[in-house]
Amino acid sequence: MGRRVVGNDVDGNGTPLTGSGFTSSRTATGVYHLSFPAGTFTGQGFPVPVFTPFAGGPVTVILTGASESPTGSASMTFQTYNAAGTLSDTTSGAR
């Protein structure tokens, strides 16, 4: 079984910067939701999200929700926090 790598970049306002085959949104300050349609991860096992913030200063990222279906669709929600521990928007890359 081969693995599939899906790389996407999401702006701090939640809109996709690069990549295709997914939707993204900023649902609140520092909260981002990504969805991948059926067939994206079919036969691949559960997707392993990696979220890399591109912002000035320290940022903590927490995966707060993830789901995957037998159809190969998946969704995940991330929260980003600044050095003070406050939810904060960031330009990010979800891989």
Give residue-wise pLDDT tens across range 58-72.
688 899 999 988 888
What is the spatial order of strands in the sheet that 16-18 belongs to? 16-18, 8-10, 91-94, 51-54
DSSP string, 23-64: EEEEEETTEEEEEE-TTSSTTS-S----EEEESSS--EEEEE
**CA distances (Å), origin 48, targets 3, 28, 83:** 11, 23, 25
Span 1-42, pLDDT tens digits: 566 677 788 888 888 888 888 899 999 999 999 999 998 887
Cβ atoms within 10 Å of 43's Cβ, excluding its own:
10
